[in-house]
Amino acid sequence: MLKNRLFYLFALLLAVGLVLGACGTADDEDTGNGGDTENEQAEGGDQAEEGGATDFKVGMVTDVGGVDDKSFNQSAWEGLKAFGEEQGMTEMEGYTYAQSESNADYNTNLNRLVREEYNLIFGIGFMLADAITQVSGQYPDTNFAIVDSVVEADNVASITFQEHVGSFLVGVAAAQKTQSNKVGFIGGVDSELINKFEVGFRAGVASVNPDIQVEVQYAGAFDKADKGKQIASFMYNSGIDVIYHAAGGTGNGVFTEAKDLKKNDPDGNYWVIGVDRDQYEEGAVPDTDDNVTLTSMVKRVDVAVADVATRAMNGEFPGGEILAYGLNDNGIAVAETNKEALTEEILNEVNSWKERIAAGEVEVPQNHDELEAYLGNL
């Protein structure tokens, strides 16, 4: 019995010793790891402060025109890519886009980017305004930006442009170029925004020659190239020789029609004025040296997107603000790529009106009521 008790006592002491030893080892290891973790956290914090953009992610949601619409969606993506590459980001990890095939995709795409923890999410085009309003309200800790519209929320930056001014200037160019005294305007969706393009263009044309006829038609969509081609065909066949489009992907059909006509009739006048980005390349007639792009009303969506992304990354996100990009900050420009078509005489006239607008001598109308008043004073 005594031997058994001594055995049990020895076993108990041994077990206690092992437990205490294990606890001591665990404490030592925890202390060591704890110190390393604090050091790693401090280093990580320093890196975040030095790099600034280490964990910053930015995305954009296109409207139905798509990221390759040759217009403002594409321009926005070019700006986002330029920003990402400048910051050393990789596509999909640091910056990305979500393409919308229909209006129903807007909320879905915005919510997906929120779930994927993007810090800043752009909605490209006024058609996303309702979706941005709804989703930004649901996620107040995520920053959003809307292009071509205004959403009143502390976590939304509204990016706008002086489209009417740029459209006025290309209207001056159209009036100088036309030989038939008939020009056309093709809009995507008949809306307050696209009306600014139409109104500015008509005012510019009339400022040069009030007797020039301006035919206006809306396609009802930004992604119907076939509809754009059909309308352009009607206009050119009616004697119109310059068409300005503000129709996104629908405008691609205008270029197609003009190039087809030019190829079959090399001596004919079938000019297109592009929009949002320099669309000179879209006007190249296959197998010839001809180009039907007279000029383009360049709206620097790329510059605006990169600017807002940079400000957000640096902790200076302009939430709740309406940003207006215009002539003074190169947000609006007239493309001069086609030197052969946009002659020095035309360009001098455009620049003359540009200077008058910048000096405040000319106030360009923005809606149909203002246009009526403007035309009445010519």
- The predicted model gives 50-79 an average pLDDT of 84
- The predicted model gives 208-229 an average pLDDT of 97
Residue 219 has pLDDT above 80, yes or no: yes
| Highest CATH level, class, for 58-161 | alpha beta
CA 290/CA 367 separation, integer angstroms: 36
pLDDT at 71: 84
pLDDT at 54: 58
pLDDT tens sequence across 339-370 = 999 999 999 999 999 999 999 999 999 999 99
Q: Name the CATH code of domain 163-298+343-376 (choices 3.30.413.10, 3.40.50.10300, 3.40.50.2300, 3.30.390.50).
A: 3.40.50.2300
Residue 317 has pLDDT above 90, yes or no: yes
Same fold, 58-161 and 163-298+343-376: yes
Q: Name the pTM for this structure.
A: 0.79
- Contact criterion met (CB below 8 Å) for 343 and 178: no
Q: Which residues contact 247 (CB under 8 A, 6 or more apart)?
A: 186, 187, 188, 219, 222, 228, 254, 275
Quick one: tokens of 164? 């009417």
Task: Pick the closest to residue 117 from 76, 62, 56, 47 (CA basis).
Answer: 56
CA 82/CA 231 separation, integer angstroms: 35
Domain ranges of the chain: 58-161, 163-298+343-376
pLDDT tens sequence across 122-142 = 999 999 999 999 999 999 999
pLDDT tens sequence across 107-126 = 999 999 999 999 999 999 99
Q: Which residues contact 23 (CB under 8 A, 6 or more apart)?
A: none
Print the SS3 string covering 206-237: HHHCCCCEEEEEECCCCCCHHHHHHHHHHHHH
- Contact criterion met (CB below 8 Å) for 154 and 186: no
Burial class (CB in 10 A: 0-12, 13-18, 19+), 215: middle
Lowest-confidence range among 49-53, 81-85, 215-219, 314-318? Answer: 49-53
Share of the chain above pLDDT 70, in %: 86
What's the mean per-residue pLDDT of the chain?
A: 88
